[in-house]
Amino acid sequence: MKKLLYLPVLIGSLLFLGCEKDDDPQDDAGNYQTPLPAATTYGAGTFACYVDGKAYIAKKNDITAFYQFYQGEYSLSVQGEWSSSEYLSVIRFHGNKENILLEGNTYPLEKPILGGNNLYGSLFFKEFGNWYNTNDEQTGELKITKFDEINGILSGTFWFNVKRPDGEIVEIRDGRFDVRYN
């Protein structure tokens, strides 16, 4: 008889354990609940971060990257887009020949300087239809973890803040990318 009493508990436990959590990052409620892909360095085609605690993981075909030397200046752009969300995240670098990216270095993300030598982070708010960048008050960092010019691989980690038009500060945290660039 005692064994029959345990049967409903056992069945209930199995049903509970058998339920699968929906792993769609776009359904993430925030608070860093959805894990991001690992920070790799072999050109895996990843771009992900938390935006105010919510996971944003770009699909491979929604990631673009280039690094080129044009008219005496290096330019870098790495971006991941989340088409079903309100954000598009970008990291850009502009520099001259003496200011190329070096593997292992950490760079500040600052206010964009037109024609200048700096890195900055940007977040596009579809709601407001405009880009918002790091600046003198809302900054961040970019660490280059792999820079392989022969195979066209660029990997790094990043974090930064931007301010929305309504004054709210948006925190981009635990960012990582591992891309092949043109």
Which structural domain, as residue segments, surrounds residue 168?
Answer: 25-180
Task: Examine residue 126 and state whether it is found in any structural domain, yes or no.
Answer: yes
Whether 173 and 49 have beta carbons less than 8 Å apart is answered as yes
Please indicate whether residue 85 or residue 175 has the higher confidence score (pLDDT): 175
Side-chain half-sphere of 116: how many Cα atoms within 13 Å? Answer: 8
Banded pLDDT at 25 (limits 50, 70, 90): very low
With respect to residue 13, please indicate whether it lies within any of the assigned structural domains: no
pLDDT tens, residue by residue, 134-161: 899 999 999 999 999 999 999 999 999 9
Work out the number of other CB atoms within 10 angstroms of the CB of residue 165: 10
CB 120 within 8 A of CB 110: yes
Beta strands 54-57 and 46-51, pairing class: antiparallel
Cα 96 to chain centroid, rounded: 25
- Please state, in angstroms and rounded to a whole number, the distance separating the CA atoms of residues 40 and 49: 14
Position 45 in a domain: yes
In a domain, 174, yes or no: yes
Q: What is the pLDDT of residues 64-85, one digit of tens each?
A: 898 888 777 778 888 888 765 6
**Has residue 11 been placed in a domain?**
no
| 12 within some domain | no
Residue 8 covered by a domain = no
| pTM (predicted TM-score) | 0.78
Q: Sign of dihedral through CA atoms 141, 102, 48, 20? A: negative
Number of separate domains in the chain: 1
Residue 85 lies in a domain: yes
